[in-house]
Every structure is written in structure tokens, then in C-alpha cells.
Copies of this chain bind each other. A is one copy, B any other.
Amino acid sequence: MDRDQCLALDAQDPLRAFKDEFVLPEGVIYLVGNSLGALPRRTAERMRRTVEEEWGEQLVGGWNHAGWYEQPLTVGDRLAPLIGAGPGQVVVGNTTSIAIFQAVAAALRLRPERRVIVSDAANFPTDHYMVQGLAGLLGGYEVRDLAEGRFDDAAVVLLSEVDYRTGARQDVPAVTAAAHAAGALIVWDLCHSVGAMEVDVSDADFAVGCTYKYLSAGPGAPAFLYVNPRHQATAENVLSGWHGHAAPFAFETDFRPADGMRRFVVSTPHVLSLAALDAALDIWERVPMAQVRAKSMALTSLFVDLVGDRLELASPADPAARGSQISLRHPEGYPVMRALIDRGVHGDFRAPDTLRFGFAPLYLGYTDVHDAAATLLEVLDKELWRDEKYAVRLAVT
């Protein structure tokens, strides 16, 4: 496909108007929306309002009048449709790691007779690390890698819908059914799928995810936690903080969980960070997710076609079997990526040899993908990555 054909596809793109809702620096093709989503234009004004009008003018009254107190639930309700959930099933706040701890600990207490946690070495490391920390705290639990393939004695299975490294996509309904058939509960990590495709966790037991990737809610934006309604009356939040209490302003001595999802709110929400998430959801409530997925598959396929067989494809070749990301292998991946970034094409690198490119369909076009692939081929053809300045490692790579 040549550049003119890409321009024509962009002109016909039903999502093309969304690009104007994001701030993108001149001369940059940003293929890292799978790590940190671009800034929505509306967010700056929303932050100003929350800081100057809510905090500045309402002061502590903001907890009532600006709705801060309810935001973990009200913003959760706004996010819920993006993961196939309904009202009263999602809370936002804290971080993905904390939400994993809450979900896995709750699942273990719902399956007290079992002592195995199945996690996946291909999960993003924090998932695995948090489970290790929980297992170490409790004692007597085995953390088994998914590769062993056995769910039969598992209390809980923790998996990612989309693999952060390769973009490979799990079959959520099939794996959920397999876990349930074995008597296990399942926790899905949706960090790399939410906002990039239609997600449906309505059969899952728990789900977690972050909002700073495709959802563009800002660096370190709050995470979300989903609890299936069938568990809400019995699931315990072991991080039983004041905001999860049934009557916080009674200041009782003993914890008594609130009904429903409120019990999973731990403590004072990060209001400023939540404001940016709420602003991003002003966009997402207008986004037709089936179109996002269709465009995402077209963009990743275009990139693979244009790069051809110049680099080993680490992602599944079938677009239906991957998320909105393409991973390519190169033994000198680090300087290759630095050389690309120097030419305005921003991807990232994951040791030891993986170049990652994320495709956020709301602000990337076909022509962007064409130009990114052309730049990558030029960096490879001319061996531009051999410049010494690209060998110097940055702290965060």
C-alpha cells in the first residue's frame, strides 16, 4: 500500500475526528499509546477547574459539592461499559498492583480449601510480583506458572488479556470457562486491552487494569477493579480502609464492609489524578469500540505488511489473535529504537531484543503508520542505529 492509498483511508476513517481531541507534538508519530496515552485537549481545562474552582474555592466542601467522595464509584460506573461491566461493578483508584493484591486476596478467601495461585510469567511483572508478595505474606501457597497448564487445584488464575511483550491476545471466554470448569476463580488483567478493543469480563470473577495506556488518563492515572456481582456480597477487601466502611462517618472502632463495590474503595481517592481520568472518559463515552478494534487490526496489519520480513515478528501474525501492538525483534533493538525516536517515530524497547509499537486508533492514522514503517526501514537499510549516541542507556527504557 502506498502513501496516497493511506491518505485515502484516513479521509474515509470514521474515527478521524477524534485525532483533534488529542495534543500531539509536531513531527512526532507516537506509537507508545500502549504505554502512556496522549493528552486529551479537554484535560488541561478539566485540571484547571478541579484545582482552581473545586479545591481552591470549595476547599473541603469539594468532598460533597464537587462529588469527590463518590468518584471512585461514579467514575468507575463511567468506565464500566469499556470492559463489558454494568453500574456498581467497578471502582477506580490506587494502582493496578494494589488492585491485583485486592482481587487475588479476595479470590483466595473465596476458595479457602485450595492453595495454588496460577500466574503467567508472561504477565506484566508487577502481576507476578504482587502475587509472590501475597503468597509470601500468607505462607503455604504455591505460585504456579501458567506454562504448567494445570488449573485443577488452583484457587485463582491471574492472566492478562493481551501480553505486554508480544501483544498476543488470550481467548477470554475460553480461558474463563476452563478456569471455572476446574473450580478456580479468574482475575483478568486488562491493562493492554482496555481502550483498544471490545472487552467483556462479565463471566470473569475479578478484573483489573490501568487507565494511562489507551485510555489516556495521564501518567500514573488510577487503576480500576471489577468484581462480578455474584461475589460482591461475600468477597472481602483485605485492604479494608476507611472509605470501604459501611458507615465511615460513624467512626466505628471495627471495620464493617459497605455493601456492594464501595467496600473495595480503600481510602481517600487521588482527586487530581481522578479528574484527568474523568476528562478522558468524556471522550470514551462517544467512541464506538467496534470501529476502534477494526481500525486497530487494520493499522497493525498495515505496519506488518510494510515492514515485511525485515524483522522477526514477535506478535501473532493473525490480527484477531493480537492486541493493538506489534512487537519486532532485533538483536540491537535498543539503538534501533533510539535512532527511530530521534527521527520522530516513538516506540519503546523491552529487553532483551523487542521493539514495541502501539497503535492507538483514536489519534493514529494510516499515513502515520506508513511513515513510521518507512522510517524504520530507512534506519535499518542505512544502519543509522550504529551511531554511538544511540548506545547510551536512559534510566527508563
**Which A residues fall within an 8 A CB radius of B?**
23, 25, 28, 30, 32, 35-36, 38-39, 43-44, 47-48, 51-52, 54-57, 59-64, 68-70, 94-98, 101, 105, 121, 124-126, 128-130, 132-134, 136-138, 165, 210, 212, 218-222, 236-245, 248-255, 266-276, 346, 348, 350-351, 394-397
Asked whether A133 lies within 8 Å of B237 as measured between CB atoms, the reply is yes
CB distance from A169 to the nearest CB of B (A): 20
CA distance A126 to B253 in the complex (A): 9
Partner of A397, one of B212, B249, B267, B346: B249
Asked whether A60 lies within 8 Å of B32 as measured between CB atoms, the reply is yes
Asked whether B266 lies within 8 Å of A98 as measured between CB atoms, the reply is yes
Given A220-B271, A268-B95, check contact A60 B348 (CB 8 Å).
yes
Asked whether B23 lies within 8 Å of A56 as measured between CB atoms, the reply is yes
Given A351-B249, A351-B250, check contact A97 B238 (CB 8 Å).
no
Given A44-B48, A56-B39, A59-B30, check contact A351 B251 (CB 8 Å).
yes
Q: Of residues A56, A59, A212, which shows the largest number of chain B Cβ atoms within 10 Å of its Cβ?
A: A59
Asked whether B94 lies within 8 Å of A272 as measured between CB atoms, the reply is no
Nearest CB in chain B to that of A133: its residue: B240
CA distance A195 to B285 in the complex (A): 41
CA distance A43 to B54 in the complex (A): 13
CA distance A47 to B242 in the complex (A): 28
Residues from chain B with Cβ under 8 Å of A30 in the complex: 59
Given A129-B242, A212-B268, check contact A51 B47 (CB 8 Å).
yes
Asked whether A245 lies within 8 Å of B39 as measured between CB atoms, the reply is no
CB distance from A129 to the nearest CB of B (A): 4
Given A59-B32, A219-B62, A346-B59, check contact A126 B242 (CB 8 Å).
yes
User: Can you list 16 A-B pairs with a CB-CB distance of less than 8 A?
Assistant: A23-B57, A39-B52, A61-B346, A95-B268, A97-B241, A97-B266, A97-B267, A129-B244, A129-B245, A130-B241, A132-B240, A137-B238, A138-B138, A218-B271, A218-B272, A249-B397
Residues from chain B with Cβ under 8 Å of A275 in the complex: 272
Give the 6 A-B residue pairs with the shortest CB-CB distance, closest first: A133-B240, A126-B242, A219-B271, A97-B267, A97-B241, A129-B255
Partner of A94, one of B94, B244, B397: B94
Asked whether A241 lies within 8 Å of B69 as measured between CB atoms, the reply is no
Residues from chain B with Cβ under 8 Å of A97 in the complex: 239, 241-242, 266-267
Nearest CB in chain B to that of A252: its residue: B125
Asked whether B269 lies within 8 Å of A220 as measured between CB atoms, the reply is yes
Residues from chain B with Cβ under 8 Å of A64 in the complex: 394-396
Asked whether B35 lies within 8 Å of A60 as measured between CB atoms, the reply is yes
Given A47-B47, A129-B255, A133-B237, check contact A95 B95 (CB 8 Å).
no
Partner of A125, one of B61, B242, B269, B351: B242
Residues from chain B with Cβ under 8 Å of A95 in the complex: 94, 241, 266-268, 270
Asked whether A132 lies within 8 Å of B96 as measured between CB atoms, the reply is no
Given A43-B51, A47-B47, check contact A220 B270 (CB 8 Å).
yes
CA distance A373 to B236 in the complex (A): 46
CB distance from A390 to the nearest CB of B (A): 15
Given A56-B39, A270-B222, check contact A133 B239 (CB 8 Å).
yes
Residues from chain B with Cβ under 8 Å of A269 in the complex: 220
Nearest CB in chain B to that of A266: its residue: B97
CA distance A220 to B219 in the complex (A): 16
Asked whether B238 lies within 8 Å of A396 as measured between CB atoms, the reply is no
Asked whether B48 lies within 8 Å of A36 as measured between CB atoms, the reply is no
Residues from chain B with Cβ under 8 Å of A54 in the complex: 219
CB distance from A338 to the nearest CB of B (A): 12
